[in-house]
Amino acid sequence: MRINSILTSLLTGVLLTACNPGKQTHHTYDWGKLPQQVDLSWADSVGSRQQPDGRIISANSFGAVADSTRLSTEAIQKAIDECSAAGGGTVTLAPGYYLVGALFIKSDVNLQLDKGVTLLASTDINNYPEFRSRIAGIEMIWPSAVLNVIKQKNVAISGEGMIDCRGKKFWEQYWSMRKEYETKGLRWAVDYDCKRVRGILVERSTDVTLKDFTLMRTGFWACQILYSDYCSINGLTINNNIGGRGPSTDGVDIDSSTNILIENCMIDCNDDNICLKSGRDTDGLRVNRPTENVVIRNCTTRKGAGLITCGSETSGGIRNILGHDLTAQGTWNVLRLKSAMSRGGIIENIYITRVKADSVRYVLAADLNWNPQYSYSILPEEYSHKEIPEHWKVLLTPVAPEEKGYPKFRNVYLSHIKATNVREFISASGWNDTLRLENFFLYAIEAQAQKAGRIRYSRNFNLAEIMLDTKDNTTIASENNDQCNIHLKSTPSGNL
């Protein structure tokens, strides 16, 4: 009886693990000597809890044709709608190239893009109906994405196929507008005035799985998870550096969403690779919805602004982020924390461990007052008596009281990172004596860098077991810090 009981318990455990691939039953991370135990119990429950099941429907039987000159949007959408209405299942396509505008995936449906299937996104923005969404931290009217999951449950997009968003038209449009806007003092507005098509949008949805496909050349952000819960992103290849330099082509943006798992992805883009966001300024503070409980593991980033970035949209707060077993190759930053003095919100409980990095700018970059030209909206005098767009009014609305807009960064842990060919090991800056970076713990890091960098306006900033090899043989500059404990193990140049 006892043996049967043990076998039953073991079998139950295996089945539970199989049904919950995001679940981890133990944590073996090493953060060094800390004043208190780290609680990562929340990391056991992230990711989609179910996936669609049921009959298989071919979109080709509804009229979808592998013809890159004829839109198949209507036919594929009919197959998705019927599949959902019939109780769910899988919608498939025969191999080939399918020209599409915006598609809306419905509850209990898996849109399966098998190997050999390519969705070619229309470059006509009229094929992407507009609706109210959130863009770069504020809610406004914006075109739909190529693939959309809006207010749905139990949805998947899977398979080894490709989604070519063909975004170069939108990239060129942006760079042209930005040049014009900068001469007018409107750098802060151009990102919102130049409407570009996202790759994938998951909004106000639960239990969504994105798995194994390739997403490329998106006109704007590649994959945005917005106001959603229990989502998994697994095995995606995102490449937005094909055929040009795509502006604001973030890889994955987790935006005011919770219980998210990102794993086994490769991301090459022209902005933040994996980014956690939660709203901007007055509008973000109004929504006041955090991004929390996110696990990022076994991912590789190449070109891009940050392996993991928090911000600059921080208004709703960003907390409980665990990243482990990651690789950054030519990415600007390993961990990047950024905000502005009008954003508000708290970035806290950030845990990054077991990372290999090569040819990065910074291992850690933290700035409470990032990119003022973009972050702060000032209306030029020539527009003061003119009617301006509604989203300009939102961007120009000041945060009141002013201190509500002051962001905070605290409880940040980095350990077991090995970085080579680094430009500068660390650049971490609070704002002043009363607004400091708080409780940072860096442990067991090896870095080969041109410069050591600096830490400013912090409280309880700790570096232990840091082996730093700098080309100029300088140490980390400490300026206006309170309880900054730096213990470096310097090495002769080239010994790492």
pLDDT of amino acid 2 = 36
How far is residue 251's CA from residue 325's CA, in Å, rounded to a whole number? 18
Query: 């300088």: which residue's tokens?
Result: 474
Question: For residue 488, what pLDDT is reported?
Answer: 85
Under a CB-based contact definition with an 8 Å cutoff, are residues 264 and 295 in contact? no
- By DSSP bridging, strand 318-329 and strand 109-112 are unpaired
Rounded to 5 degrees, φ, ψ at 344 are 75, -170
Q: Could you state, in order of their start, the residue ranges of all structural domains in the chain?
A: 55-490
Is the pTM here over 0.85, yes or no?
yes
Residue 382: which of 127, 158, 157, 183 has the closest Cα? 183
Superfamily of domain 55-490: Single-stranded right-handed beta-helix, Pectin lyase-like (2.160.20.10)
The mean pLDDT values, 10 residues at a time, for the chain of 496 residues are: 36 38 64 93 97 96 97 98 98 98 98 98 98 98 98 98 97 96 96 98 98 98 98 98 90 98 97 98 98 98 98 98 98 98 98 98 97 93 95 98 98 98 98 97 98 97 96 92 87 52
User: Do residues 279 and 134 make contact, with C-beta atoms less than 8 angstroms apart?
Assistant: yes
Q: CA 428, 433, 438, 443 torsion: positive or negative?
A: positive
